[in-house]
A and B are shown apart, each in its own frame.
Chain A
Amino acid sequence: MKFSRIIANTGEWLSGEGPNRQIVVSSRVRLARNLRNKPFPGWAKKAERLEVMTAVKEAVSRLPEMEDSFSENLEALSPLEKQVLVERHLISREHAAKGVGSAVVMNTPQSLSVMINEEDHLRMQAICCGLQLENVHKMIDRVDTELDGQLEIAFDDTLGYLTACPSNVGTGMRASAMLHLPGLVMSDQINKIINSVNKIGLAVRGLHGEGTEAMGNLFQVSNQTTLGETEGEIIGRLNRVIEQIIDHEQNARALLAQRKAITLHDQIGRAYGLLSHAYSISSKEALNLLSIIKLGIDLAVFPDAHRFPVDELFIETQPAHLQKGAQLQKMTSEERDSLRADLIRSKLAQVPQPDISRLTISTHEPPETT
């Protein structure tokens, strides 16, 4: 499969349906695996990396899940193409920096991807829309079991799966969910939430930055520890915390609508106004304003039919995606800011003006009125 086909369609996780879709953008599970007694990628010599890559790539390509897949060596991808994959969360920033001896394989819906010779010989992930960590884990677990029969995987009776970094040993699993939390950010509660989640051994990170610096009000919650609990226990713990965060976010939105209605209306109106009329906009400003539009869709201020085009803009306005048409010459950031504004204006032209009278709050429980 050609890279152009990957570029042409955004992944299934962006357009699909899933539980708690409004607040939970995506669920992802990543497994780290290594071949027994082969030097880890960071320590291996080039010839050793190539040997491992060839063996792993062959095994991965034979998987039924990868029947129609995109598979490429990292040195064969341009920096821009690598960046597109990073912006889609299909490969890590670290992997994008790799060259000869590393590779990536992914299926057509972009729900499964395998990084070969990242920090570990294999980093494989499944990603889906909404909150469905168990399903996503099942998807990647099946791939793992299939590979297990074909490759000699490093496993120890006491320590479990052995990884390049001791922080991933055991299950080798990172489960994470990307949450959209504008209500908690607007009501200044986000740091409180981050602190309490950190206290129970889970990590919260902004999509591009730490704490309230997060762009687009997007936060990733993931497990920090991998040894001493089963995969199911880790995912259960994450699920319980995420469900609580969802409740807090919904309550925050309800309280904003009740007590700070003017501020909320104002923010939605301004976001719409700015995005509809800007001729130059940075990635950060765009994400933050798009987040408010997304909130407006959740609150029924904009018709739900516009959810997908707006969600898509979160990815399409990222630097490498903007540039993907003009592959050869590198754009300046001014040129990108102008192109980004053009793209957003043309998409927002389809979205009607905000109708504040339609504002509806949906919560599990009514918010406290004290």
Chain B
Amino acid sequence: MQCDVCQSKEATVFLTQIVDGKMQKVNLCEGCSKEKGVNDPTGFALADLLLGLGDSQQIEKTAASNKCPVCGFTQADFKKTGRLGCSNCYSVFAEGILPMLKNMHKGTRHTGKVPAVHAEQRERSEKMKSLQESLDKAIADEEFELAADLRDRIRQVEAELAK
């Protein structure tokens, strides 16, 4: 059997991993398994490896010309390393990354810890959204006194956000 990475040497290392009932297999030669750090117990190597191989097609679907404006990372770089260039790359290459995350993880939505700074911002933007909706409704209903009141409150929140 041939090595999945270099496609030339004989595979001697066989990896199987089952995530949520889906079996994923990788066959590697001695050299490639060392290079990929398959034997390193401390690394997160196996998941990375599966990611680097099995999903390369999905990445190619996104336009090859895509380049992250923040860090200059490209599709080709991702294919080569299996890593991204910076946090902004997640939005630039979202189309390719999302289906991959679906295969790798339990879900595609983060449900864990939210940093305090972020939680505050999120709360404010939700408040803004609901105030804006009330304002639109007040204007539609021609309740101008209420509308003026709501506009003041929106300005207040905006000022807070600008701080």
Does the CB pair A198–B18 fall under 8 Å? yes
Of A67-75, A105-113, A165-173, A284-292, the segment with at least 4 beta carbons within 8 Å of chain B is A165-173
Does the CB pair B114–A155 fall under 8 Å? yes
Residue of B nearest to A31 (CB): B113
Residue of B nearest to A214 (CB): B41
Does the CB pair A156–B112 fall under 8 Å? no
Is A13 interfacial (CB-CB < 8 Å)?
A: no
Does the CB pair A225–B19 fall under 8 Å? yes
Residue of A nearest to B100 (CB): A166
Given contacts A165-B44, A231-B112, contact A40 B83 (CB under 8 A): yes
Residue of A nearest to B19 (CB): A201
Within 8 A of A (CB), among B97-129: 97, 100-101, 104-118, 122
Given contacts A225-B106, A228-B111, A229-B106, contact A38 B86 (CB under 8 A): yes
Does the CB pair B101–A141 fall under 8 Å? no
Given contacts A43-B71, A198-B17, contact A171 B110 (CB under 8 A): yes
Does the CB pair B84–A40 fall under 8 Å? yes
Does the CB pair B110–A149 fall under 8 Å? no
Does the CB pair B111–A229 fall under 8 Å? yes
Is A205 interfacial (CB-CB < 8 Å)?
A: yes
B interface residue count range (under 10 / 10 to 19 / 20 to 34 / 35 or more):
35 or more
Q: Which residues of B contact A141 (CB under 8 A)?
A: 113
Of B46-54, B134-142, B149-157, the segment with at least 4 beta carbons within 8 Å of chain A is B46-54
Is A309 interfacial (CB-CB < 8 Å)?
A: no
Is B81 interfacial (CB-CB < 8 Å)?
A: yes
Is B70 interfacial (CB-CB < 8 Å)?
A: yes
A206 and B41 alpha carbons, distance in the complex (Å): 7
Does the CB pair A155–B118 fall under 8 Å? yes
Does the CB pair A156–B115 fall under 8 Å? no
Within 8 A of B (CB), among A213-245: 220, 224-231, 233
A106 to chain B, nearest CB (A): 16
Is A208 interfacial (CB-CB < 8 Å)?
A: yes
Q: Contacting B43 at CB < 8 Å: which of A37, A93, A162, A198?
A: A93
B128 to chain A, nearest CB (A): 15
Does the CB pair A168–B44 fall under 8 Å? yes
Is B65 interfacial (CB-CB < 8 Å)?
A: no
Does the CB pair A203–B51 fall under 8 Å? no
A208 and B52 alpha carbons, distance in the complex (Å): 24
Q: Contacting B40 at CB < 8 Å: which of A43, A93, A233?
A: A93
Q: Which residues of B contact A57 (CB under 8 A)?
A: none
Residue of B nearest to A162 (CB): B87
Does the CB pair A207–B41 fall under 8 Å? yes
Does the CB pair B51–A166 fall under 8 Å? yes
Q: Contacting B73 at CB < 8 Å: which of A43, A93, A226, A227?
A: A43
Does the CB pair B108–A228 fall under 8 Å? yes
Does the CB pair A230–B112 fall under 8 Å? yes
Within 8 A of A (CB), among B18-58: 18-21, 37, 39-44, 46-48, 51
Does the CB pair A149–B90 fall under 8 Å? no
Is A188 interfacial (CB-CB < 8 Å)?
A: no
Does the CB pair A167–B48 fall under 8 Å? yes
A209 and B34 alpha carbons, distance in the complex (Å): 12
Given contacts A157-B122, A227-B107, contact A210 B39 (CB under 8 A): yes
Q: Which residues of B contact A37 (CB under 8 A)?
A: 70-71, 86-88
Is A4 interfacial (CB-CB < 8 Å)?
A: no
Q: Contacting A148 at CB < 8 Å: which of B90, B112, B115, B122?
A: B115
Q: Contacting B112 at CB < 8 Å: which of A35, A39, A153, A171?
A: A171
Residue of A nearest to B109 (CB): A158
Q: Contacting A158 at CB < 8 Å: which of B20, B82, B104, B110?
A: B110
Residue of A nearest to B77 (CB): A43
Is A273 interfacial (CB-CB < 8 Å)?
A: no
Within 8 A of B (CB), among A314-367: none
A162 and B85 alpha carbons, distance in the complex (Å): 11
Is A193 interfacial (CB-CB < 8 Å)?
A: no
Chain A, 139-165, contact with B by CB distance < 8 Å: what is the 0/1 string?
Answer: 001001100110001111111111011
Is A294 interfacial (CB-CB < 8 Å)?
A: no
Name B residues whose Cβ lies closer than 8 Å to a Cβ of A.
16-21, 37, 39-44, 46-48, 51, 70-71, 73, 77, 81-88, 90, 97, 100-101, 104-118, 122
Sample of 13 more A-B contacts, CB < 8 Å, known A148-B116, A165-B83, A229-B107: A37-B71, A43-B83, A92-B43, A119-B83, A155-B115, A166-B84, A166-B100, A171-B113, A173-B112, A208-B41, A224-B47, A227-B105, A228-B109
